Amino acid sequence: MTITTTNSRSRGLTGAQVRQALPGAIRKLDPRSQWHNPVMFLVWAGAALTTIVAVLELLTGNVGVSTGFSTVIAVWLWLTVIFANLAESIAEGRGKAQAETLRKTRTATSAIRVDGWDERNDPSVEHTTTTEVVSSELKYGDVVVVAVGQTIPGDGDIVWGIASVDESAITGESAPVIREAGGDRSAVTGGTTVLSDTIVVRITSRPGETFIDRMISLVEGAARQKTPNEIALTILLTTLTIIFLLAVAAIQPMAAFAGEPLSVVVLVALLVCLIPTTIGALLSAIGIAGMDRLVQRNVLAMSGRAVEAAGDVSTLLLDKTGTITFGNRRATDVVPVAGAQRAEVLRVAHLASLADETPEGRSIVEHALEQGHSPEHADAAALAATGAAVVPFTAQTRMSGVDLPDGSSLRKGAGSSVAAWVTETGGTWPTDADPAIESISASGGTPLVVAEQTAAGQRRVVGVVHLKDVVKPGMRERFDQLRSMGIRTVMITGDNRVTAGAIAAEAGVDDFLAEATPEDKMALIRKEQEGGRLVAMTGDGTNDAPALAQADVGVAMNTGTSAAKEAGNMVDLDSDPTKLIDIVAIGKQLLITRGALTTFSIANDIAKYFAIIPAMFVVLFPGLDRLNIMRLSSPESAMLSAVIFNALIIVALIPLALRGVPYRPMTADQMLRRNLLLYGLGGVIVPFVGIKLIDLVVSLLPGL
């Protein structure tokens, strides 16, 4: 399996893209816009100065160099600035269509606001008064009811009900998704539509700060901030520009001393050719395109810093369920222990799972019925009607169950948790429970221990439920590829160590954390970070929020809770945890592209230096003729050819900046050698060839 980070939208540069982006490129000629890019601002200033000189020469007739030379230089300097602006405008334009689509979903809608929601006595608001308001009037904490066919008025969490929701406006996926209260799939997004049933939603966003609002600003680039790496590179390019500015300024006195002072036009042209204009022109486009590649994969990055950090990630934390495995664990068998009968195990497991709405809980109920168990209660409502109290699953207890009105209690959960529950009142752990657990775990299944407490207060284990999960195909190959990228993978699961070890061995991860609690996740992340490593992880629940916030790259699932999405610095709209692998590849591609084009640009400048200087001063210093290996026609032709090449190379590299340099898993040494050979040596050779070919054409012009 090959990680690919290209898309049809990123291949080549079309005429339509250029036409759409050209007005924006022209508007960016405003000096207030150019000021943010020191390199290109200097080119802009040089173009303006050269234009003034050319106009004065035409008005006064005092032509200091060949006729038309200043004018042609001025034209190509302006084209250099426009081409740089064009690269940025094309990159920004890619988010325009998506932003327009999102704006259509942001239109104000009516909302049915609940006046005083009573969670205990009237959670479905059947008997509570409501008020119809405009969605823009909703405040943080308001509760609204949304019926079938209505648009959800704002971001929030479902506090009652379950519904099928159309999220195609956000994700592009036409298939509806299920959202329900009380779990990790409770979050809903404003602008999406309820297709079935009725839900009660608590608003968790303020007007103008919704998920869609943030998406619009991010895909348009309005909220894009320069990353630390981009800022550092900008400082480096600015420093190089200042150095070349001083070097060119020092040439004039030396030329004057030799009896051949240089014109302002020549000095400006020389400066523009020597400063790193190529990477300076493309730097912003590279960053915007990196964000766009994530958007193409339905991943919303809250900052460019997160994308950049993804490229330097060295440790990946991945949940087992739903990420490495399909996550639809189903009960396939029950194993009686401690002398219990199979029917007894089925009864206890059925009652303990009747109010459990997780896929595992539902599968246990279904399995009990399939095995011929005659239920005492038809459903969870009938069980609740008897006065039974449901004990929900938590990451801390790792158990769930029910307390019956007769004083008895039923529990199911991880072996260690149930063992602690049984033994805390003097109960004993049966000797045949461990072999059953080990047998299920060794096969890659998940054992859930079932126990009961009688009305007299005696606790005992009655059996073990066998849950099966399946590793997704191709996961081993993907982890092998990550390993070749120098990334360590760690599987996190609440399963016991034996089960976790079996799944980890099958999937091919480097390490695993079994019986993990939220505190264990935090401790693992901090341990990795203390070792100087960057950590990435995925999560969707409220209990994942602290770890998502602690991780350097935290990818929250769109199906998850609002707390998880607020804590993460990326949101996966498809809610596919395995996409974390692609995010890392895109981050690496961004860093590689920036590094490769910087190498090419600097090599370019060095080559242009040795191509231009000998041709310029060969008349004054005949000894330089030995360095004039390109045999350019004249000093004017050499300078003009270099300026034209300097502008055209930006256009030639725009598709690569937008598409990104293809990423191939390899060591850092291999990558360095490859980039130096391809972009370093290539950056030296291409200017010699390009300038010579342009010179052959330019030399045919009159006066040159």
Q: Which residues are catalytic?
A: 319
- Bridge partners of 117, per DSSP, are none
Q: For residue 86, give Cα distances in angstroms to 237, 485, 637, 643, 652.
A: 20, 34, 27, 18, 12
Q: What is the DSSP string of 537-569?
A: EEE-SGGGHHHHHHSSEEEEETTS-HHHHHH-S
Please tell me whether residue 528 adopts helix, strand or coil conformation: helix
- Strand-strand pairing, 535-539 and 315-319: parallel
The sheet with strand 187-188 has its strands ordered as: 130-134, 110-114, 143-146, 199-203, 156-160, 187-188
Please tell me whether residue 667 adopts helix, strand or coil conformation: coil
Query: Quick one: which of 501, 504, 500, 568 has its CA closest to 536?
Result: 568
**Measured between alpha carbons, how far is 550 from 520 in angstroms, rounded to an integer?**
13
Q: Name residue, tokens 């998506």.
A: 98
Residues 6+ apart with CB under 8 A from 45: none
* CB of 171 closer than 8 Å to CB of 164: no
Burial class (CB in 10 A: 0-12, 13-18, 19+), 251: middle
Q: What angle do CA 475, 476, 482 make, to 5 degrees?
A: 90
* CB of 475 closer than 8 Å to CB of 532: no
Q: What angle do CA 34, 607, 66 make, to 5 degrees?
A: 70
**Measured between alpha carbons, how far is 597 from 589 in angstroms, rounded to an integer?**
12
**Measured between alpha carbons, how far is 568 from 545 in angstroms, rounded to an integer?**
7
CA dihedral 465, 466, 471, 472 (to 10 degrees): -70
Tally the C-alpha atoms within 13 A of residue 177's C-alpha that lie toward its C-beta. Answer: 22
Residues 6+ apart with CB under 8 A from 602: 240, 276, 279, 683
Q: What are phi and psi of 23, to 5 degrees?
A: -60, -40
Calculate Rg over the CA atoms of the chain: 33
Q: What angle do CA 431, 434, 435 make, to 5 degrees?
A: 100
- Strand-strand pairing, 553-557 and 535-539: parallel
- Strand-strand pairing, 315-319 and 330-336: unpaired
Q: What are phi and psi of 157, to 5 degrees?
A: -120, 135
Burial class (CB in 10 A: 0-12, 13-18, 19+), 532: exposed
Tokens of 694: 């342009």
**Measured between alpha carbons, how far is 246 from 241 in angstroms, rounded to an integer?**
9
Q: What is the DSSP string of 120-187?
A: TTBTT-SSS-EEEEEGGG--TT-EEEE-TTPBP-S-EEEEE-EEEEE-HHHH---S-EEEETTSTT-E
Tokens of 682: 């290539």
DSSP state, 118?
B
* CB of 364 closer than 8 Å to CB of 465: yes
Whole-angstrom distance between the N-terminal and C-terminal Cα of the chain?
Answer: 56
